[in-house]
Amino acid sequence: MRDDDPNKADPASEEVLITFEQPFENHNGGSITFGTDGFLYVGLGDGGSANDPLGNGQNLATLNGSVLRIDVDHKDEGLAYAIPSDNPFVDVEGARPEIFAYGFRNIWQISSDPTTGHIWVADVGQDLWEEVNIVERGGNYGWSIREGTQPFSGVVSDAATVDPVWVYDHREGKSITGGHVYRGTQIPALEGCYVFGDYVSGRIWGLKLDAETGTAENREISWNGLPVYGFGVDEAGEMYVTTASPSGQGVFRIVSDTSVVPAGINDNFLDPDLDAEAWMKRFEVESREVFAGRVEVMEALGLEPGDRIADVGSGTGLYLSAFSQAVGEKGLVYAVDISPKFIEFIRRRIVDENLENVRVVPSTERSASLSPESVDHVFICDTYHHFELYGEMLDSIREGLAPGGQLVVIDFERIPGTSRDWLLTHVRAGKDQVRAEIEQAGFEFVEEVEVPAFEENYLLRFRKPE
């Protein structure tokens, strides 16, 4: 580091440790980590192209497709580093002695757990499978005779290979981004979890491995849906995510409000036996703040005849009648919901209440399913905390809003030490974080509107830039 600034590297101190052949432009790998043994581990891709055309993954004579282990504190003759004497292929004729494990396609990325000493590797797949691996001395991780736990391209081999500790297919994501085992103190729910993501699907998970049984539990961590480039940790063990950002704000710290999404938060609403009538009796009562304050909420929305509004997470349709009346016969109301049973209930309600300007829109966990610039207002009431993929959902809402359109979000305050225990375990993010996420998604904050009936809820107004 520089003598005058310990937080900056001295470029004059650079020393080239190792160079190697890179036959194609892709699968460069190159991520590095120091193990608890003090040695440097280097993760290298197979050299590129597709299908491992040079067979590097299974070739111990090349560094490509391997995890290397070298000693940077000492030098062997003719090298800028030393070979640890216990590396597994030191005495194997024709093998590169730097190799610690092999059979990898495109390592992205590699990290060391400071508590267990495990070396974790995320290996990007080709046709179908993405892998998470714990590196074993001398282990063959299968590429290109195998992808994930399956034979690759019909290849049949009796070679001994090490299974990944976790795989997922290309319905979940298409390019894994490895992270770190969380050893910080601010998010107890993540203690000991290997946190990783996917560049293509923009998802992040926490993988907890049971050391005794070898079984693993993978839980999704709430994220804004942006591409996951990489992860980092600070001296305290707290974790960061890097992503793309037109504003330059591309480094995010994972905090407790963005910890593991409550498991099954939407299961009740996706239940094929859901009783919508029973839910209406729970939703549409004076003890519920958004029902008691519905007149003030309507005033805050300021709907005009001819407006188009989407009620995202419409549920049993609490506000549909009021919306229908406010926008009139020349306006449109879109009732958007993920629950088939709620959609069915709303269709009956439209007929029973003669809501001729209301349209039903079945949505998904990733999208509100609105046509581009099809609405002037989007209303999200007690639903935002149910967005498991809030980044992708906000992107779809922004696309559906006309330029200058209004987004109104009502949700629960989440204040540790003040909010009810149910809210702290059920609601993912507090008001300030919700505002930050929505602004990050490209909306402009307008104001917070005070609603007299609200004690646990809040109302935030945003707009889509012209």
Do 174 and 198 touch, CB atoms closer than 8 A?
Answer: yes
17 has a pLDDT exceeding 50: yes
Do 429 and 423 touch, CB atoms closer than 8 A?
Answer: no
Per-residue pLDDT, 260: 42
pTM of the model: 0.61
Q: How confident is the model at residue 198 (pLDDT cuts 50, 70, 90)?
A: very high
Average pLDDT, the chain: 92
* Residue 279: both structure tokens together: 């839910």
* Residue 370: both structure tokens together: 């609105």
Per-residue pLDDT, 263: 56
The stretch 388-407 carries a mean pLDDT of 93
Do 204 and 391 touch, CB atoms closer than 8 A?
Answer: no
Per-residue pLDDT, 224: 73
SS (H, E, C) 271-327: CCCCCHHHHHHHHCCCCCHHHHCHHHHHHHHCCCCCCEEEEECCCCCCCHHHHHHHH
pLDDT tens for each residue of 411-443 = 999 887 788 888 877 888 889 889 988 998 899
pLDDT tens for each residue of 63-88 = 999 999 999 999 999 999 999 999 99
Per-residue pLDDT, 244: 82
The stretch 300-311 carries a mean pLDDT of 97
Q: How confident is the model at residue 33 (pLDDT cuts 50, 70, 90)?
A: very high
Per-residue pLDDT, 414: 85
Q: How confident is the model at residue 292 (pLDDT cuts 50, 70, 90)?
A: very high
* Residue 422: both structure tokens together: 């149910």
**Residue 185 burial (10 A CB sphere; 0-12, 13-18, 19+):** exposed
Complete domains list, the chain, with CATH:
11-258 (2.120.10.30), 267-463 (3.40.50.150)
Q: Which residue has the higher pLDDT, 441 or 140?
A: 140
Distance of CA 456 to the CA centre of its chain: 28
- Measured CA distances, 76 to 83, 98, 119, 456 (Å): 7, 12, 24, 66
- CA-based angle 441:255:188, to the nearest 5? 145
* Residue 398: both structure tokens together: 């922004």
Per-residue pLDDT, 257: 52
258 has a pLDDT exceeding 70: no
Residue (of 191, 163, 352, 348) closest to 256 by Cα position: 191
**What percent of the chain is predicted at pLDDT more than 70?**
98
The stretch 325-351 carries a mean pLDDT of 97
Count of CB atoms situated within 10 Å of the CB of 8: 9
Q: Which residue has the higher pLDDT, 219 or 101?
A: 101
- Measured CA distances, 415 to 83, 422, 432, 457 (Å): 53, 12, 10, 12
259 has a pLDDT exceeding 70: no
Per-residue pLDDT, 254: 87
Q: Which residue has the higher pLDDT, 162 or 433?
A: 162
**Residue 408 burial (10 A CB sphere; 0-12, 13-18, 19+):** buried
Per-residue pLDDT, 57: 95
261 has a pLDDT exceeding 70: no
Do 220 and 204 touch, CB atoms closer than 8 A?
Answer: yes
- CA-based angle 209:167:25, to the nearest 5? 120
Residue (of 225, 122, 108) closest to 166 by Cα position: 122
Do 183 and 162 touch, CB atoms closer than 8 A?
Answer: no
SS3 (DSSP) at 359: strand
Residue identified by tokens 């793309």 is 244
The stretch 169-190 carries a mean pLDDT of 92
Per-residue pLDDT, 247: 67
